[in-house]
Amino acid sequence: MTGLRTGAALTLAACLGAGLSGCSNGDGGSPSSAVSKAASYASQGASALASATAEAGKRLDDVKNGVDAKAAVRLGTPTTTSDGHMSVQVTADNKADGTKSFAVQVDFKDNSGNLLDTTVATVANVPAGKSGKATAQSHRTLSGQVKTEVARALRY
């Protein structure tokens, strides 16, 4: 979201720096329409992030008898998929006596720590004493340096 605001600010700064007279958004639009489009895009990004965050919270809240398992989960190196989304492998170690599943909320963040997206991956039916794997993928395309972290993890 910060990157989107930065884009809008840079567009506005470029227009102001050009004295507004010759500034356009590249498609013949006015400076104000360029800023408006950038602000609209930022708003859509914020809405998508709010929706993803709410959905992740709901999925974890729906887990019955879940116990904190954040220490039992690790993430691989994030990669960009062919469609521009970010993907990361999730590994969950089951140290319980029986088969368990894991619900893992993975946050995608920029270098400044700003939340870009979040999702929940399920590592299902991991036998006792074994590790299971799943893939977490961002809901939307992300660019630049993206870091991932386990926000929450439940074993059930």
Phi first, then psi: what are they for 64, rounded to 5°? -90, 135
**What pLDDT, on a 0 to 100 scale, did the predictor assign at position 73?**
98
- The pLDDT tens digits of the residues spanning 89-127 come to 999 999 999 999 999 999 999 999 999 999 999 999 999
As a whole number, the mean pLDDT across the chain is 78
Whether the CB-CB separation of 84 and 141 falls below 8 Å is answered with yes
In contact, 131 and 154? CB cutoff 8 Å: no
Task: Give the tokens for residue 3.
Answer: 């990157």
Radius of gyration over every alpha carbon of the chain, rounded to an integer in angstroms = 20
